[in-house]
Amino acid sequence: MSISKCKVIDLPRVADARGNLTFIEGHNHIPFGIKRVYYLYDVPGGSDRGEHAHRNLHQFIVCMSGSFDVHLDDGQKNKRIHLNRSYFGLYVCPMIWRYLDNFSSGAVCMVLASENYDESDYIRDREVFLKEIATL
Ligand code: TYD
């Protein structure tokens, strides 16, 4: 799994004077089916979230309000993506170390996930991540 598979995806926008509308269909606008949705909110300034990788989980991260940064790392390359609009999001493939920081006041981070919550899918130790990715 390489960081080059992680990409910002533009979402459909139905512009309307009454308010704009965006939608996301699994296997259509994003490259996986959606089994779970969760969101981060009321994040205190200076907080970091994430600091882990997933063995099998695909995720799509959307900034619904405010802004934040997502840092990605595949063990060889890393990049930072600033998310600040609800009409695009970041696809994160499995086996990518990630953390989120630089949350603005009022930021809401919505994550679409390909699987239900499963703690055994997490790699929370970076040394373990680097060992596992070296065997792929
Ligand atoms: P976690 O994914 O570890 O967040 P972070 O890496 O940003 O700290 O989740 C924090 C806690 O929330 C963890 O104890 C498990 C729980 N949790 C669920 O119960 N279901 C979920 O879908 C998620 C994402 C987390």
CATH number at residue 87: 2.60.120.10
Of 52, 54, 58, 71, which is the active-site residue? 52
38 lines ligand 1 (CB under 6 A): yes
Structural domain that includes position 11: 3-134
Specify the pTM: 0.97
The rounded distance, in Å, linking the Cα atoms of 82 and 65 is: 13
Q: Is 52 a catalytic site residue?
A: yes
How many distinct structural domains can be found in the chain? 1
Strands 88-92 and 78-83: unpaired
User: Contact 32/26 with Cβ under 8 angstroms?
Assistant: yes
The whole-number pLDDT of residue 41 equals 98
Residue bearing the CA closest to ligand 1, atom 5: 50
The rounded distance, in Å, linking the Cα atoms of 90 and 76 is: 19
Taking only the tens place, the pLDDT of each residue in 45-100 is 999 999 999 999 999 999 999 999 999 999 999 999 999 999 999 999 999 999 99
70 CA → ligand 1 middle, Å: 16
